[in-house]
Structures are given as C-alpha cells and as structure tokens.
Amino acid sequence: MRGQQPKTIVISGGTDGMGRATALARLRRGDTVVAIGSNEAKGRVLAEEAGRTGAVGRLRFLRADLSSIAEVERVAADIAHHHPVIDALVFCANRQSPKRRETVDGLEFTFGLYYLSRYLLSRRLRPLMDASAAPVIISVAGVGNTAGAIHWDDLQLERRYSTIRAQLQAGRANDLLGVAFAQRAAGKAAYVMYHPGFTRSGDASMFNPLVRGILRLLARFAARPVETSIRPIVEFIDNPPRAALTAIDRGRPVDSALKTLDPGDADRLATLTEELLSQHTPQTPPHGR
C-alpha cells in the first residue's frame, strides 16, 4: 500500500480490458473495488481472480447494462447504499456497434453507453465522492483527438450513422463532459481525461471475421500492452491532481485551447443532456435486475 490508506474505487467497465486490469491492480494494493459490467460470466471470472490474489470480500461485481438510464440509476443507488465514501471513479465502459441501434430509452446506443452513463454516474455519485479526502474521476476515452464532432442537429445519429462517427461523437462528448464538470464545479473530485492510446484491449467480437483479423494484427504490432496503458490510471488514483481538470493524451498534457474542449460547447451539451434526461422516463431493460 506504500503508506496509503485503502481506497474505495468504482470502475464502470471493470470486467474487461483496461478497467479489469485497473481493478486487479488496485485490489493488489488493498483497495475495495466495485466493478460494473454487463456480462455475468466475466464478473464471475474477475471475482475468482480477485479471490486468488487474496482480495476476497474487497471486490463487488455489479451486473448492469449501462446503456440504460434505469440501470445506471439502479447501480448508483446500490453503490450509495453500500459505500458511504468513493475515492475514485474510473470510466472505461464502451462497446462499438457496427449498426445503429437504440437503447431501451430510445437513444443511440454509443451515446447512451459511452457518454450518458458517464454523465449520470459523475452526478449521482457526487455526494459519495465529496465525502472522500481526495476524490478523483478518471474518464478513459480519446481526449486530444480532434477528429469527429458533436452533431448538434442529429445527436442520436438518426440521419447518418457509422461506428466511427458514433464513437468519435461520444468521445468528443466525453471531452466536453470533463470541461463542464470542472467549470460547473460539479463536486470536489478532480476530473482527469485520459487517452491511453491504441491498447491491446477492446472487444471486437461484434465485427465480421475480416475486420476482427485486421484489428488483431494491428494490435499485435502497434498497440500498447494493457499494463502500460493503465499505469497512469493507477497512479492518478494514488495521487489525484490538484487541478479541477487534467487532460492527458499518452503521457502528454492536452492543450486546453483545443476546439474539442470549448467551454461554450461544454455548457451547451450539459444543458442539452439535462433537457434530454428530464424528458425521459427511464425504461427498465428486459433483463435488468
């Protein structure tokens, strides 16, 4: 533990890839980890591995489909019920969708999962984070990448959808979420946006065999090992920055003057998101619990 008190950490997308590796690294340091993922089997495997590393009782797996507003609300309430203090909130949940599909709330899936779940969790868990001495939120996405845009007139990508367009829009939305969180002083937590670079993780099972093969080949030669990519996440949890907002792209600070971090756009998206949430009665997914 290197002289640090054990912390309580919530990881959305904590059952695979970088979220899972972060969960195991923090469990090894003596922390308590709440790992959220949609796949029960992955949760079981993670719990078994936690048990082998001597972390029995310090890992809680919460099965939830975070693309659903009701499911996010349910896990937030569950976490608040069990944990009075959250020291770190790590956002890793994401999944690519080759075809446009809608969540139970009628939202475009990538927008719902990759962006809106982060928006909601950062707000709902705020009181628990404010109770920590040095809370930090780490959003693992693509800050510094200036490709893509927020399609203000077609936020749900009803007119033009592609996997990349949806991923880039939700990535840019996550950039603006960090800016809005800091500028609206939405809590005591330091907000870190972290771009890990191309990493040997990520579920590609939804793609056809050719795309999967190309991705696997690229990953073998060009991607970073998961353990390298998560190092800054693990360290940010130990030493949260003093600044309200930190943006790091593969170890390099990101210029806050980038157009993708525009405070006006951040405000606009936050207002739009609140409006959207106020118009939605969360729907319970068929398999939600």
Ligand X SMILES: NC(=O)c1ccc[n+]([C@@H]2O[C@H](COP(=O)([O-])OP(=O)(O)OC[C@H]3O[C@@H](n4cnc5c(N)ncnc54)[C@H](OP(=O)(O)O)[C@@H]3O)[C@@H](O)[C@H]2O)c1
Q: How far is the CB of 120 from ligand X (least distance, A)?
A: 13
13/148 with CB nearer ligand X: 13
101/184 with CB nearer ligand X: 101
1/77 with CB nearer ligand X: 77
Residue 78: exposure state from Cβ atoms within 10 A (0-12, 13-18, ≥19): middle
- Beta strand 252-253 with 136-140 is unpaired
37/178 with CB nearer ligand X: 37
Binding site for ligand X (CB under 6 A): 13-19, 36-39, 42, 64-67, 92-95, 113, 140-142, 195-196, 198-199, 201-203
166/269 with CB nearer ligand X: 166
Q: How far is the CB of 278 from ligand X (least distance, A)?
A: 23
Q: How far is the CB of 5 from ligand X (least distance, A)?
A: 27
Q: How far is the CB of 139 from ligand X (least distance, A)?
A: 8
Q: How far is the CB of 133 from ligand X (least distance, A)?
A: 27
Q: Which residue's Cβ lies closest to ligand X?
A: 17
Q: How far is the CB of 102 from ligand X (least distance, A)?
A: 13
129/233 with CB nearer ligand X: 233
